[in-house]
Amino acid sequence: MKNVVVLGSTGSIGRATLEIIFQHPDRFSLLGISGNKQKDLMLKQIQKFQPSFAVFTDKSARGPKNIGKTKCLYDQEGLEFLATNPDTDIVVVAISGLAGLTPTFKALDKGKTVALATKELVVCAGHLLQGKKGKVLPVDSEHNAIFQMLEKQHMSEVKGITLTASGGPFLSYKKSLSDVTVEQVLDHPIWKMGKRITVDSATMMNKGFEIIEAFHLFNIRKENINVVLHPQAIVHGFVVFCDGFIKAIFSKPDMKYSINFCLNYPERISAGLDELDISSVRALTFEAIETGRFPCFDLARHALKMGGSYLTVLNAADEEAVKFFLNGLIRFDSIPTIVEKSLENHKAVGLNTIEDVLQLDRQVRTEVKRIAVSCGLIKSDEVLKEE
């Protein structure tokens, strides 16, 4: 029996995790959950799953101290309590952005297993992961596939890895992207995700983040991490070996496969998911990504080359630009303009602690607003409304 904590239980990954836990009451006990804005959904989850603890991080979501058998906690203090609780065996981190950064690292310091679904944490603070007592299990389907193939593998035999990318909703789009709507961007052809990651998938920034994540997680040389466009999203990753052989992981495009893998690791247990019928797969296509086709992807590659604090700038600038777009303040193709300008304005600084990362993150977000105004992308009064 594993005691599971799900940070971000109201998001798509969190909800899928709870479904798997619910299917296996003999294997998992839900110790705690956390949520932010979706208070009503949190209350339904508390009623259905009856966790020992529930953490509300939204300041407006104050409630009673107890809901039935569930004790209610709040803010970062509550997240850290769950992440470091002596009874916690595995922490599923599905909080978007950097809100889960401190509890994640504190969980690892305590030797906990962390099933990590929030790539921003690795993008911004991956260099601080070395030497942690706990183990990181990647939930992203691509990194989960690579993890499975590299486990117990002599790294001297590995030449490189290749991640796959569906290409998002505009892979075959022939018109200008200047006037695409938020609704078009959020209509991903395969994956159902949160708004920010869906926009990042459309710009391919998400795949750039995944290259950075792979660099930190697997200790692969930057130049040996590649990406190919694979619109069917059935092959999730390749490992290339020094003798010319290549391994690949196949499955249907459903995050529950990798979530189930992480929850049961190191065992493999059925979660009742449909197996891929190989005979039904009519075509698998792969295509290299040409430089200039996806500006955000190129910017992520550049930031990884620069390294260090540029990666935190990349993430913060992108998140703020995506917010502007989702709120109707900028056009879709203005997102890379803001990110590029933010990287150009940055001078490298040392990030030796979690607080260093968080402080730079805050600074960049303030600077991004000024950049958007100075570039004439949004009006100053619109920025003030955002604040």
In this structure, the answer to whether residues 45 and 180 fall within a common structural domain is no
268 occurs within a structural domain: no
Q: Assess whether the previous peptide bond of 336 is cis (omega < 30° from 0).
A: no
CB contact at 8 A, 217 and 127: no
In this structure, the answer to whether residues 68 and 174 fall within a common structural domain is no
pLDDT value of residue 380:
67
267 occurs within a structural domain: no
In this structure, the answer to whether residues 9 and 95 fall within a common structural domain is yes
User: For the segment 183-217, what is each residue's pLDDT rounded down to a tens digit?
Assistant: 888 887 776 777 888 999 899 999 999 999 999 99
In this structure, the answer to whether residues 368 and 240 fall within a common structural domain is yes
Q: Nearest CA to 259 among 132, 102, 94?
A: 94
End of a domain among 85, 115, 138?
138
In this structure, the answer to whether residues 236 and 127 fall within a common structural domain is no
CB contact at 8 A, 148 and 261: yes
126, two tokens? 């991956």
By CB atoms closer than 10 A (0-12, 13-18, 19+), residue 64 is: exposed
pLDDT value of residue 246:
97
Residues of the chain short of pLDDT 50, as ranges, are none
CATH number of the domain at 347, please.
1.10.1740.10
Q: What's the one-letter identity of residue 237?
A: G
CATH number of the domain at 43, please.
3.40.50.720
What is the residue-averaged pLDDT of the chain?
92
203 occurs within a structural domain: yes
User: For the segment 277-304, what is each residue's pLDDT rounded down to a tens digit?
Assistant: 999 998 999 999 999 989 999 999 999 9
pLDDT value of residue 181:
82
In this structure, the answer to whether residues 227 and 281 fall within a common structural domain is yes
In this structure, the answer to whether residues 173 and 294 fall within a common structural domain is yes
206 occurs within a structural domain: yes
160 occurs within a structural domain: yes
End of a domain among 107, 123, 138?
138
Structural domain span for residue 199: 144-253+275-386
In this structure, the answer to whether residues 66 and 206 fall within a common structural domain is no
264 occurs within a structural domain: no
By CB atoms closer than 10 A (0-12, 13-18, 19+), residue 330 is: buried
pLDDT value of residue 366:
92
End of a domain among 120, 138, 156?
138
In this structure, the answer to whether residues 237 and 110 fall within a common structural domain is no
260 occurs within a structural domain: no
33 occurs within a structural domain: yes
